[in-house]
Amino acid sequence: MKKILVVGANGQLGNCIRKIAPDFELDYEFTFTDSQTLDITNADQVNSFFSENKPDFCINASAYTAVDLAEKEEEKAFAVNAEGVAHLAQACVDFKTTLIHVSTDYVFDGETNLCYSEDDFTSPIGVYGESKLKGEELALEINPNTIILRTSWLYSEFNKNFVKTMLNLFSQKDELGIVGDQFGQPTNANDLAEAIMSIIEAQQKTFGVFHFSNYPETTWFEFAEKIAEFSKSKIKLNQLTTEQYPTPAKRPKRSTMCLDKIEEIYKIEPKHWENSLEECVSILAQ
Ligand SMILES: NC(=O)c1ccc[n+]([C@@H]2O[C@H](COP(=O)([O-])OP(=O)(O)OC[C@H]3O[C@@H](n4cnc5c(N)ncnc54)[C@H](OP(=O)(O)O)[C@@H]3O)[C@@H](O)[C@H]2O)c1
Protein backbone atom coordinates (compact mmCIF):
# COMPACT_ATOMS: atom_id res chain seq x y z
CA MET A 1 0.00 0.00 0.00
CA LYS A 2 1.45 3.38 -1.05
CA LYS A 3 1.44 6.22 1.45
CA ILE A 4 0.20 9.73 0.61
CA LEU A 5 0.95 12.64 2.93
CA VAL A 6 -1.30 15.69 2.46
CA VAL A 7 0.28 18.76 4.02
CA GLY A 8 -1.90 21.78 4.85
CA ALA A 9 -4.94 19.53 4.84
CA ASN A 10 -7.30 22.04 6.47
CA GLY A 11 -7.26 24.32 3.44
CA GLN A 12 -9.64 24.20 0.47
CA LEU A 13 -7.56 21.78 -1.56
CA GLY A 14 -6.71 19.67 1.49
CA ASN A 15 -10.39 19.28 2.33
CA CYS A 16 -11.21 18.31 -1.26
CA ILE A 17 -8.54 15.59 -1.16
CA ARG A 18 -9.94 14.36 2.18
CA LYS A 19 -13.36 14.16 0.52
CA ILE A 20 -12.22 11.80 -2.26
CA ALA A 21 -9.65 9.85 -0.22
CA PRO A 22 -12.15 7.05 0.64
CA ASP A 23 -12.40 6.26 -3.11
CA PHE A 24 -8.67 5.43 -3.12
CA GLU A 25 -8.35 3.67 0.23
CA LEU A 26 -7.77 0.22 -1.26
CA ASP A 27 -4.51 1.37 -2.83
CA TYR A 28 -3.35 4.30 -0.72
CA GLU A 29 -2.98 5.13 2.94
CA PHE A 30 -3.55 8.84 3.52
CA THR A 31 -2.11 10.99 6.29
CA PHE A 32 -3.49 14.50 6.63
CA THR A 33 -1.56 17.16 8.53
CA ASP A 34 -2.39 20.77 9.40
CA SER A 35 -0.08 23.58 10.41
CA GLN A 36 -0.20 22.42 14.04
CA THR A 37 0.81 18.81 13.38
CA LEU A 38 3.30 19.63 10.61
CA ASP A 39 4.54 23.20 10.22
CA ILE A 40 6.48 23.28 6.96
CA THR A 41 8.49 26.32 8.08
CA ASN A 42 10.14 24.07 10.68
CA ALA A 43 12.80 22.01 8.85
CA ASP A 44 13.45 19.69 11.82
CA GLN A 45 9.76 18.94 12.20
CA VAL A 46 9.44 18.20 8.49
CA ASN A 47 12.48 15.95 8.57
CA SER A 48 11.40 13.94 11.60
CA PHE A 49 7.85 13.61 10.26
CA PHE A 50 9.15 12.17 6.98
CA SER A 51 11.59 9.95 8.84
CA GLU A 52 8.76 8.44 10.89
CA ASN A 53 6.15 8.22 8.11
CA LYS A 54 8.20 7.71 4.92
CA PRO A 55 5.46 8.74 2.49
CA ASP A 56 5.60 7.68 -1.18
CA PHE A 57 3.85 10.90 -2.24
CA CYS A 58 3.63 14.29 -0.59
CA ILE A 59 0.89 16.66 -1.76
CA ASN A 60 1.68 20.17 -0.64
CA ALA A 61 -1.75 21.77 -0.19
CA SER A 62 -0.35 24.28 2.29
CA ALA A 63 0.43 27.88 1.46
CA TYR A 64 0.29 31.44 2.66
CA THR A 65 -2.63 32.52 0.43
CA ALA A 66 -3.52 36.02 1.72
CA VAL A 67 -2.67 37.89 -1.50
CA ASP A 68 -3.26 41.42 -0.12
CA LEU A 69 -1.84 40.86 3.36
CA ALA A 70 1.31 39.40 1.80
CA GLU A 71 2.26 42.94 0.71
CA LYS A 72 2.75 43.72 4.44
CA GLU A 73 3.84 40.25 5.54
CA GLU A 74 6.54 39.47 3.01
CA GLU A 75 8.65 37.48 5.47
CA LYS A 76 5.73 35.28 6.48
CA ALA A 77 4.70 34.66 2.86
CA PHE A 78 8.25 33.65 1.88
CA ALA A 79 8.66 31.50 5.03
CA VAL A 80 5.72 29.30 3.99
CA ASN A 81 5.63 29.61 0.19
CA ALA A 82 9.39 29.45 -0.44
CA GLU A 83 11.40 28.18 2.56
CA GLY A 84 8.67 25.78 3.67
CA VAL A 85 8.49 24.31 0.16
CA ALA A 86 12.30 23.91 0.19
CA HIS A 87 12.05 21.92 3.43
CA LEU A 88 9.47 19.62 1.86
CA ALA A 89 11.51 19.24 -1.33
CA GLN A 90 14.60 18.29 0.68
CA ALA A 91 12.70 15.76 2.77
CA CYS A 92 11.27 14.32 -0.45
CA VAL A 93 14.80 13.85 -1.81
CA ASP A 94 15.98 12.29 1.46
CA PHE A 95 13.09 9.85 1.77
CA LYS A 96 12.48 9.16 -1.95
CA THR A 97 9.05 10.77 -1.92
CA THR A 98 7.40 12.21 -5.03
CA LEU A 99 6.46 15.83 -4.32
CA ILE A 100 3.31 17.27 -5.85
CA HIS A 101 3.38 20.97 -5.20
CA VAL A 102 0.68 23.52 -6.03
CA SER A 103 1.45 26.97 -7.38
CA THR A 104 -0.40 29.85 -8.95
CA ASP A 105 -1.17 31.85 -12.10
CA TYR A 106 0.04 34.90 -10.12
CA VAL A 107 3.63 33.97 -11.08
CA PHE A 108 2.77 35.79 -14.35
CA ASP A 109 2.42 39.54 -14.80
CA GLY A 110 -0.80 39.26 -16.82
CA GLU A 111 0.42 41.42 -19.70
CA THR A 112 -0.57 39.03 -22.46
CA ASN A 113 -3.40 38.57 -24.92
CA LEU A 114 -2.78 34.83 -25.15
CA CYS A 115 -2.73 32.02 -22.62
CA TYR A 116 0.47 31.34 -20.68
CA SER A 117 2.24 28.07 -21.31
CA GLU A 118 4.34 26.35 -18.66
CA ASP A 119 7.67 27.66 -19.95
CA ASP A 120 6.54 31.24 -20.55
CA PHE A 121 8.43 34.01 -18.79
CA THR A 122 7.38 34.49 -15.16
CA SER A 123 7.29 37.97 -13.65
CA PRO A 124 5.04 38.26 -10.59
CA ILE A 125 3.63 41.69 -9.74
CA GLY A 126 3.01 41.10 -6.03
CA VAL A 127 4.66 39.55 -2.98
CA TYR A 128 2.37 36.48 -2.97
CA GLY A 129 3.28 35.66 -6.60
CA GLU A 130 6.97 36.31 -5.90
CA SER A 131 6.94 33.99 -2.91
CA LYS A 132 5.13 31.26 -4.87
CA LEU A 133 7.59 31.58 -7.77
CA LYS A 134 10.52 31.27 -5.35
CA GLY A 135 8.86 28.11 -3.99
CA GLU A 136 8.61 26.64 -7.50
CA GLU A 137 12.27 27.43 -8.21
CA LEU A 138 13.52 25.98 -4.91
CA ALA A 139 11.40 22.85 -5.26
CA LEU A 140 12.73 22.05 -8.75
CA GLU A 141 16.31 22.99 -7.83
CA ILE A 142 16.37 20.79 -4.72
CA ASN A 143 14.25 17.98 -6.15
CA PRO A 144 13.91 17.72 -9.95
CA ASN A 145 11.45 14.86 -9.33
CA THR A 146 8.78 17.37 -8.38
CA ILE A 147 5.46 17.90 -10.12
CA ILE A 148 4.25 21.48 -9.86
CA LEU A 149 0.64 22.24 -10.67
CA ARG A 150 -0.12 25.90 -11.23
CA THR A 151 -3.78 26.63 -10.69
CA SER A 152 -5.96 29.74 -10.62
CA TRP A 153 -9.01 31.37 -8.98
CA LEU A 154 -9.52 28.39 -6.65
CA TYR A 155 -12.86 27.90 -4.92
CA SER A 156 -14.82 25.09 -3.28
CA GLU A 157 -17.44 24.48 -0.64
CA PHE A 158 -14.66 24.72 1.97
CA ASN A 159 -12.96 27.69 3.66
CA LYS A 160 -12.90 31.25 2.33
CA ASN A 161 -13.12 31.92 -1.41
CA PHE A 162 -14.74 34.15 -4.03
CA VAL A 163 -17.84 31.96 -4.51
CA LYS A 164 -18.63 31.84 -0.80
CA THR A 165 -17.94 35.56 -0.40
CA MET A 166 -20.32 36.34 -3.28
CA LEU A 167 -23.10 34.13 -1.89
CA ASN A 168 -22.70 35.82 1.46
CA LEU A 169 -22.81 39.31 -0.05
CA PHE A 170 -25.79 38.40 -2.28
CA SER A 171 -27.76 37.60 0.87
CA GLN A 172 -26.95 40.99 2.42
CA LYS A 173 -27.02 43.46 -0.48
CA ASP A 174 -29.25 44.54 -3.38
CA GLU A 175 -26.42 45.75 -5.57
CA LEU A 176 -22.72 44.93 -5.92
CA GLY A 177 -19.79 46.15 -8.04
CA ILE A 178 -17.38 43.51 -9.40
CA VAL A 179 -14.19 43.95 -11.42
CA GLY A 180 -14.78 43.14 -15.08
CA ASP A 181 -11.40 43.81 -16.68
CA GLN A 182 -9.29 41.02 -15.13
CA PHE A 183 -9.29 37.71 -17.01
CA GLY A 184 -8.50 34.26 -15.69
CA GLN A 185 -9.82 30.75 -15.23
CA PRO A 186 -11.81 29.73 -12.14
CA THR A 187 -10.97 26.31 -10.71
CA ASN A 188 -13.11 24.12 -8.50
CA ALA A 189 -10.65 22.69 -5.94
CA ASN A 190 -12.51 19.38 -6.17
CA ASP A 191 -11.39 19.12 -9.82
CA LEU A 192 -7.82 19.93 -8.80
CA ALA A 193 -7.95 17.21 -6.12
CA GLU A 194 -9.08 14.70 -8.77
CA ALA A 195 -6.34 15.83 -11.17
CA ILE A 196 -3.72 15.30 -8.45
CA MET A 197 -5.00 11.78 -7.78
CA SER A 198 -4.91 11.01 -11.53
CA ILE A 199 -1.26 12.07 -11.57
CA ILE A 200 -0.48 9.90 -8.55
CA GLU A 201 -2.19 6.96 -10.25
CA ALA A 202 -0.40 7.46 -13.58
CA GLN A 203 2.02 4.58 -14.27
CA GLN A 204 4.64 6.90 -15.68
CA LYS A 205 5.45 10.24 -14.11
CA THR A 206 6.61 13.28 -16.00
CA PHE A 207 8.07 15.87 -13.64
CA GLY A 208 8.18 19.65 -13.96
CA VAL A 209 5.54 22.38 -14.23
CA PHE A 210 1.95 21.82 -15.39
CA HIS A 211 -1.04 24.12 -15.61
CA PHE A 212 -4.42 22.98 -14.34
CA SER A 213 -7.65 24.98 -14.10
CA ASN A 214 -11.18 24.92 -15.41
CA TYR A 215 -11.72 26.64 -18.76
CA PRO A 216 -12.26 28.85 -20.74
CA GLU A 217 -11.24 32.26 -19.43
CA THR A 218 -13.71 34.66 -17.91
CA THR A 219 -13.73 37.79 -15.74
CA TRP A 220 -14.55 38.18 -12.04
CA PHE A 221 -17.73 39.99 -13.14
CA GLU A 222 -18.92 37.13 -15.37
CA PHE A 223 -17.94 34.66 -12.65
CA ALA A 224 -20.12 36.59 -10.17
CA GLU A 225 -22.98 36.73 -12.69
CA LYS A 226 -22.97 32.93 -12.98
CA ILE A 227 -22.83 32.52 -9.19
CA ALA A 228 -25.91 34.75 -9.02
CA GLU A 229 -27.67 32.79 -11.78
CA PHE A 230 -26.92 29.37 -10.25
CA SER A 231 -27.95 30.51 -6.77
CA LYS A 232 -31.09 32.21 -8.18
CA SER A 233 -30.07 35.49 -6.58
CA LYS A 234 -31.82 38.72 -7.61
CA ILE A 235 -28.70 40.85 -6.89
CA LYS A 236 -27.91 43.67 -9.33
CA LEU A 237 -24.28 43.37 -10.41
CA ASN A 238 -22.36 46.32 -11.80
CA GLN A 239 -19.14 46.02 -13.76
CA LEU A 240 -16.15 47.89 -12.27
CA THR A 241 -12.70 48.61 -13.66
CA THR A 242 -9.58 47.67 -11.71
CA GLU A 243 -9.04 51.41 -11.08
CA GLN A 244 -12.47 51.63 -9.43
CA TYR A 245 -11.63 48.76 -7.06
CA PRO A 246 -8.09 49.32 -5.76
CA THR A 247 -6.53 46.53 -3.66
CA PRO A 248 -3.26 46.49 -1.67
CA ALA A 249 -1.82 43.88 -4.08
CA LYS A 250 -1.98 44.35 -7.84
CA ARG A 251 -3.62 41.49 -9.77
CA PRO A 252 -2.56 40.30 -13.25
CA LYS A 253 -4.85 41.62 -16.00
CA ARG A 254 -4.99 38.31 -17.86
CA SER A 255 -3.47 35.25 -16.16
CA THR A 256 -5.18 32.65 -18.35
CA MET A 257 -3.07 29.50 -18.52
CA CYS A 258 -2.82 27.06 -21.47
CA LEU A 259 -3.93 23.59 -20.42
CA ASP A 260 -2.76 21.38 -23.27
CA LYS A 261 0.38 19.98 -21.56
CA ILE A 262 -1.49 18.24 -18.72
CA GLU A 263 -4.05 16.97 -21.22
CA GLU A 264 -1.38 15.56 -23.49
CA ILE A 265 0.90 14.03 -20.86
CA TYR A 266 -1.47 12.97 -18.08
CA LYS A 267 -4.68 12.69 -20.18
CA ILE A 268 -6.45 15.04 -17.75
CA GLU A 269 -9.27 16.92 -19.42
CA PRO A 270 -10.19 20.13 -17.64
CA LYS A 271 -13.91 20.81 -17.15
CA HIS A 272 -15.85 23.86 -18.27
CA TRP A 273 -15.84 26.32 -15.37
CA GLU A 274 -19.60 26.88 -15.53
CA ASN A 275 -20.32 23.16 -14.99
CA SER A 276 -17.90 22.94 -12.08
CA LEU A 277 -19.29 26.14 -10.56
CA GLU A 278 -22.88 24.88 -10.81
CA GLU A 279 -21.88 21.74 -8.86
CA CYS A 280 -20.27 23.81 -6.12
CA VAL A 281 -23.20 26.24 -5.82
CA SER A 282 -25.62 23.34 -5.55
CA ILE A 283 -23.52 21.76 -2.76
CA LEU A 284 -23.48 25.08 -0.92
CA ALA A 285 -27.26 25.42 -1.30
CA GLN A 286 -27.88 22.09 0.50
N1 LIG B 1 -7.00 30.21 -3.28
C2 LIG B 1 -6.73 30.56 -4.55
O3 LIG B 1 -7.48 31.31 -5.20
C4 LIG B 1 -5.53 30.00 -5.25
C5 LIG B 1 -5.27 30.40 -6.57
C6 LIG B 1 -4.15 29.87 -7.22
C7 LIG B 1 -3.33 28.98 -6.56
N8 LIG B 1 -3.60 28.62 -5.26
C9 LIG B 1 -2.71 27.67 -4.59
O10 LIG B 1 -3.44 26.48 -4.36
C11 LIG B 1 -2.96 25.86 -3.16
C12 LIG B 1 -4.11 25.53 -2.26
O13 LIG B 1 -4.77 26.75 -1.90
P14 LIG B 1 -6.02 26.78 -0.93
O15 LIG B 1 -6.93 27.86 -1.43
O16 LIG B 1 -6.54 25.41 -0.72
O17 LIG B 1 -5.34 27.32 0.40
P18 LIG B 1 -6.01 27.66 1.80
O19 LIG B 1 -7.44 27.27 1.82
O20 LIG B 1 -5.64 29.06 2.13
O21 LIG B 1 -5.24 26.67 2.77
C22 LIG B 1 -3.89 26.76 2.96
C23 LIG B 1 -3.55 25.87 4.14
O24 LIG B 1 -2.14 25.99 4.34
C25 LIG B 1 -1.91 25.81 5.70
N26 LIG B 1 -0.64 26.38 6.13
C27 LIG B 1 -0.30 27.69 6.17
N28 LIG B 1 0.94 27.81 6.69
C29 LIG B 1 1.38 26.55 6.94
C30 LIG B 1 2.57 26.02 7.49
N31 LIG B 1 3.56 26.81 7.88
N32 LIG B 1 2.68 24.67 7.62
C33 LIG B 1 1.67 23.86 7.25
N34 LIG B 1 0.50 24.29 6.75
C35 LIG B 1 0.37 25.63 6.59
C36 LIG B 1 -3.06 26.52 6.38
O37 LIG B 1 -3.23 25.92 7.61
P38 LIG B 1 -3.77 26.74 8.87
O39 LIG B 1 -5.13 27.17 8.51
O40 LIG B 1 -3.71 25.70 9.93
O41 LIG B 1 -2.84 27.88 9.06
C42 LIG B 1 -4.23 26.27 5.43
O43 LIG B 1 -5.07 25.23 5.91
C44 LIG B 1 -1.92 26.81 -2.59
O45 LIG B 1 -0.64 26.40 -2.99
C46 LIG B 1 -2.24 28.13 -3.23
O47 LIG B 1 -1.11 28.98 -3.31
C48 LIG B 1 -4.69 29.10 -4.61
Domain coordinates in residue numbering, the chain: 2-160+187-216+255-272
Contact between residue 51 and residue 194 where contact means Cβ atoms under 8 Å apart = no
The pLDDT, as a whole number, for residue 36 is 96
Compute the distance from residue 236 Cα to the ligand 1 centre, in Å: 32
Tell the CATH superfamily of the 2-160+187-216+255-272 domain: NAD(P)-binding Rossmann-like Domain (3.40.50.720)
Task: State mean pLDDT over 207-232.
Answer: 98
Give pLDDT tens digits for 111-124.
999 999 999 999 99
Confidence of residue 286 (pLDDT cuts 50, 70, 90): confident
- Calculate the CA dihedral of residues 147, 153, 154, 158 and round it to 10 degrees: 160
Q: Is 63 in the pocket of ligand 1 (CB under 6 A)?
A: yes
pTM to 2 decimal places: 0.97
Q: Is 61 in the pocket of ligand 1 (CB under 6 A)?
A: yes
Which positions are catalytic? 128
Q: How many residues does the chain have?
A: 286
Compute the distance from residue 232 Cα to the ligand 1 centre, in Å: 30
The pLDDT, as a whole number, for residue 157 is 98
Q: Is pLDDT at 276 greater than 90 in this prediction? A: yes
- Calculate the CA dihedral of residues 19, 24, 26, 31 and round it to 10 degrees: -60
134-137 LR contacts (CB < 8 Å, sep 24+): 134/78, 134/81, 134/82, 135/81, 135/82, 135/84, 135/85, 135/86, 135/101, 135/103, 136/85, 136/101, 136/103, 136/107, 136/209
Contact between residue 21 and residue 75 where contact means Cβ atoms under 8 Å apart = no
Q: How many CA atoms lie within 13 A of 10 on its CB side?
A: 8
Percent of the chain topping pLDDT 70: 100
Give pLDDT tens digits for 114-157.
999 999 999 999 999 999 999 999 999 999 999 999 999 999 99
